[in-house]
Amino acid sequence: MKYYTNYTPRNSSLLPGTNHTNKHGCVFTILGLYAGEQTKNKKYVVKFIATNSIQVVDSSNIKAKSVKDYMHRSVFGVGYMGKGKHSSYKSGKVSREYKLWNHVLERCYGNRPKWHTYKNVSVCERWHNYQNFCEDLPKIAGYDKWLTSGWVIDKDLSGGLLYSLENCVFLSPSDSSKEMNSRVKKEIIRGECGRIVGTVVLPSE
C-alpha cells in the first residue's frame, strides 16, 4: 500500500507519526497520505498499534474517531470482524450469520449465568475471525437446513468441547435435544470418561 510522507496538511494532527484514538479506545498512527485515488476528504494510511492492522481511511473519519480496527477483539474479548466481504448487516438488519457467531462466542466467553456450563468449552482460533466463520458455515453438514428450517449448530455430536468446522454439525432442534439427553445419561453412567459429570450438564444448542 503506497503512501506519501512528504506533505503539508492543513491540520498538523494529520502529519505522519501522529497518534489518534477511536471511539473504542484503540490507538492508531498515521503513516502517510494515501497514494491512490482521493475523494473530497483526503485519505490517509493508518496503522493500529495493538493489532498492526493497516487500512485507508478518510480524514473525516479520523476527526470523528470513527476509524474501525477490524482486527480488534471487541466481541466478548476474543471475536473480531476481520477484513473481508462478510458484513454483520444485511438489508439493514443484523445478519443470521452474525447472530449465530455472536451467540456461539457468548456461550463460551460471556458472563451470563445461563452459560456457566460452558466454562470448559471454547471456540477455535480460526472462528474468532468473523470472516473465517462465514467462509466455513456452508461447509458444515446441515447448513442448508439451517438456512431454511431453523436447525441449530451442535458441537456435542462429536463428543468435543471445541466449536470448530471439524466438530460442528447442524441438527433439528428435536434431534439436538435428544442428543443432549442421551449424552447426559451416558455421563451419569460413565462418570470417569473425562467429561464434566455430577450435577453439571453440558448443553448442546
pLDDT at res. 181: 57
Which of left, alpha, beta for 32 (phi over 0: left; psi -120 to 50: alpha)? left
pLDDT digits (tens, 9 = 90+) for 87-117: 999 999 999 999 999 999 999 999 888 777 7
Q: 137 in helix, strand or coil?
A: helix
Whether the per-residue pLDDT at 202 is higher than 60: the answer is no
CA end-to-end distance (rounded Å), the chain: 44
Chain position carrying cell 471511539: 23
pLDDT digits (tens, 9 = 90+) for 126-154: 999 999 999 999 999 999 999 999 899 99
Percentage helix, strand, coil for the chain under 3-state DSSP, each rounded to 5? 35, 20, 45
pLDDT digits (tens, 9 = 90+) for 35-46: 998 778 899 999
Furthest CA-CA distance within the chain: 74
Q: 146, 176 in Cβ contact below 8 A?
A: no
